[in-house]
Structure 1
């Protein structure tokens, strides 16, 4: 079976390949700027809602649940790594959010968060998306890194499902960056470059996550939970508020439900 053949590869290489895939889908979404100059608010809200649902489902099915099972199998108190890692992940993203200059979609330049800077609005928008791509890349990397100590086809399938789910929600995120930049007067090529650049951090975080798991096996349940906490922080801090702006909030909610169901289907069916 093809999936079993992948177990022969180094987990770091698999993590790199998976996160390059998620970056590719970010670039593919950013490429929509070559076909559209604007994006309707209801479409954007639906896409952001979908991304929220995917990340919430991935946080449990692909990260927290395996962390609890691994802790139990190792003789640890099952909830300790999950709770400690989850809170640490949220705290880490909170600290980064307070430090890294960034601007959420649809907000004026004066609403920029983080350390005060004179950086342009376009750079701050890209940094906002980049900020929540860090835990996504880390999550995929940790999931593949876990294969070093448990080279199981089911676990590999779960890691692949996670990469597919993250990739699916990266597509609308890429479009959500590039198309608004085009509307603000950027050339199509420049808007595309900014959009795809937001996903560059995922392969970096993915390889780092896989490598850390390989070198610190006992921390694996904590690492999985850490990634989950970081992802939930992004969902609550950025994606949900942005998807609920305007008058099309029902579409945002439906998008979130569909995203959750899609990720749950991928993880349960493949994993």
Structure 2
């Protein structure tokens, strides 16, 4: 893996987020084989995604942020807390401004600025908002290589990209298949599903570039990404997975997701 260190961190971030977007596309392709998705499958998948994001927020983002701050004269808790809260505030602002609709809800429950946009567009935008912090997390992590180009750091970043990719597969299916149920053609549902992940390379490259060029913001950027991801988990994934009183499978999925991401990060990082 050492040979990867010779590449620019921003370029590596682009490759990593193209990979996570590709897994979203792969998940969205399930719409060509299935017209519906059982709640018994969807609930644990959403729980798994939540578990992965919670684990990644600590092991891949907050912990490295604290370690990066400890290498400076700044108290480690300052960038961790400030960045974390700013990340949550950033997603909160987007959530209030951008029209979107979470899966399983009626159109009158749409959030953000009022609009007459089609229900399918609102559903896609909800997942798109979700994907912003995921791309940012991967990008910031790879951007940190500009400060510490070490094999261990790179391995941890690869683990993060793999973990985000794993939970993107069910997310791709969770948007494309319901869109098919909404009456869209298979091709259009697939296109919408995979396009929801296009923000990941955009956010990833932006995050990597900022961290690589403005080194002092690294611990803040890592914590920012963590806060944004936790906001998505608490505001969207957990409520969606626990809806309709079907909680056991979702909880088990979350536990497994956390364990898988922790395993990837600790074993590879």
TM-score, normalisation: structure 2: 0.99
Q: Which runs of 5+ in 1 are unaligned?
A: none
SS at match of 1:38: coil
Specify the alignment match of 2:2 in structure 1.
Answer: 4
Q: How does 1:184-195 map to 2 (within 5 A)?
A: 184-195=182-193
Q: Which runs of 5+ in 2 are unaligned?
A: none
Residue 239 of structure 2 is aligned with which of 241, 250, 253?
241
Specify the alignment match of 1:30 in structure 2.
Answer: 28
Specify the alignment match of 1:78 in structure 2.
Answer: 76
Q: What do the CA deviations read for 1:213-259 (whole angstroms, capped 9, x no partner)? A: 01110000000000000000000000000000124210000000000
Specify the alignment match of 1:264 in structure 2.
Answer: 262
Provide the C-alpha distance between the structure 1 equivalents of 2:119 and 2:23, rounded to a whole number of angstroms: 24
Residue 172 of structure 2 is aligned with which of 174, 182, 188?
174
Q: How does 1:107-186 map to 2 (within 5 A)?
A: 107-186=105-184
Deviating runs (4+, > 2 A) in structure 1?
none
Deviates more, 1:176-185 or 1:43-52: 176-185
Specify the alignment match of 2:203 in structure 1.
Answer: 205
TM-score, normalisation: structure 1: 0.98
Q: Is the 8 A contact 1:46 1:243 kept in 2?
A: yes
Provide the C-alpha distance between the structure 2 equivalents of 1:200 and 1:86, rounded to a whole number of angstroms: 24
SS at match of 1:245: helix
Q: Does 1:225 align with 2:201?
A: no
Report the aligned-residue RMSD. 0.6
Aligned length in residues: 269
Q: Is the 8 A contact 1:50 1:252 kept in 2?
A: yes
Q: How does 1:25-104 map to 2 (within 5 A)?
A: 25-104=23-102
Provide the C-alpha distance between the structure 2 equivalents of 1:114 and 1:171, rounded to a whole number of angstroms: 26
SS at match of 1:246: helix
Q: What do the CA deviations read for 1:158-196 (whole angstroms, capped 9, x no partner)? A: 111100000000000000000011112111111100100
Q: Is the 8 A contact 1:89 1:226 kept in 2?
A: yes
The alpha-carbon deviation at position 42 of structure 1 amounts to 1.6
Provide the C-alpha distance between the structure 2 equivalents of 1:184 and 1:121, rounded to a whole number of angstroms: 8
Specify the alignment match of 2:250 in structure 1.
Answer: 252
Q: Is the 8 A contact 1:41 1:246 kept in 2?
A: no
Provide the C-alpha distance between the structure 2 equivalents of 1:131 and 1:196, rounded to a whole number of angstroms: 14
Provide the C-alpha distance between the structure 1 equivalents of 2:14 and 2:186, rounded to a whole number of angstroms: 29
Provide the C-alpha distance between the structure 1 equivalents of 2:74 and 2:4, rounded to a whole number of angstroms: 30
Provide the C-alpha distance between the structure 1 equivalents of 2:197 and 2:257, rounded to a whole number of angstroms: 20
